[in-house]
Amino acid sequence: MKLSPSVSIEQTDSGLEYINVASEFCSAKIFLQGAQLTEFTPSGKKPLIWVSSEEDYQEGKGIRGGIPICWPWFGVNPNPEWPIHGVARTSLWRADEVAEQDDEIKVSLTLPMAQVDETYWPHKSKLKVEFILTSKLEVRLTTTNLSSETITFTQALHTYFPTPSIVDTKVDGLQGSKYIEFDEGPFDQNELVGFARETDMVYTQAPETQRIITPDGIIEVGRENSSSCVLWNPWIDKSKRLSNFADDEYHTMLCLEAANVMNDSAVVAPGESHTLATTISWV
């Protein structure tokens, strides 16, 4: 991979390598483990991505924050002994390309399928993620079916967003959709969503764009090829049980995830591709 003037390869004290972007229009970090973006800050603005202060960046462990890539299943697999959220977020990806233009940097990574245990994913396929960095962030996850049979999977771009105060934060743009919470529902979403307890909502028939209204400003989140999304905050009790997560950090974060889950599972015919995408920006 040929680097550009604004891009370098760095590593944490624990030895994990990441792509560091320091350009005129944004700064960003993308780890090779999990192809996980952990920082995106447009120039002159506040960060758009949250990572726990307790994160220690260990090999083989998912990073608590950023944008974990959940693939080829989201959440707990029907086989409960399999890894939660699939295999992509803890695998070592290959950095393929960095392309820098005057107003854009594009970073592309692929997951070498030889690393994926066939027990979990027996299908011939290609998995690629592209990060398009401007004053906005666009993430595009493409699954290509190289087999002779149709493949079906669930997935999510599990984005952690920052807020200075979760109780003063609301999510607009989910009105008109339905949601399931803690396996109950579906319920109609008629109003803006606020936070006063643990939140774990899976939305279906969701509009393509939401806005997270925080005391620091409004974050716009768009989705492509995704009519489902997930809204999550662990609140008090679950925060105490989470790894790499301080007890009080639920005050400062939420997840709003572009997804293909439940009846919105991705179905890809032989030779075809599916791209799940999200675009994130300050309004």
Just list the catalytic residues: 158, 257
Put residue 15 in one of left, alpha, beta given phi > 0 → left and psi -120 to 50 → alpha: left
Identify the helix (H) or strand (E) that includes residue 201: strand 199-204
CB 89 within 8 A of CB 112: no
Q: What is the end-to-end Cα distance of the chain in Å, rounded?
A: 34
Show Cβ contacts of residue 41 under 8 Å, excluding neighbours closer than 6 positions: 26, 27, 28, 47, 48, 49
Question: HSE on the CB side for 200, CA within 13 Å?
Answer: 9
Amino acid present at 119: T
Show Cβ contacts of residue 175 under 8 Å, excluding neighbours closer than 6 positions: 189, 190, 191, 192
Which tokens is 113 given?
Answer: 């399928």
Which tokens is 133 given?
Answer: 């960095």
- What are the strands of the beta sheet with 125-133, ordered from one edge? 94-101, 104-110, 125-133, 137-145, 273-282, 217-224, 209-214, 170-172
Report which of 212, 256, 209, 207 is spatially closest to residue 227, judged by C-alpha positions: 207
Give the CA distances from residue 55 to residues 35, 245, 246, in Å, rounded to whole numbers and listed in that order. Answer: 16, 7, 9
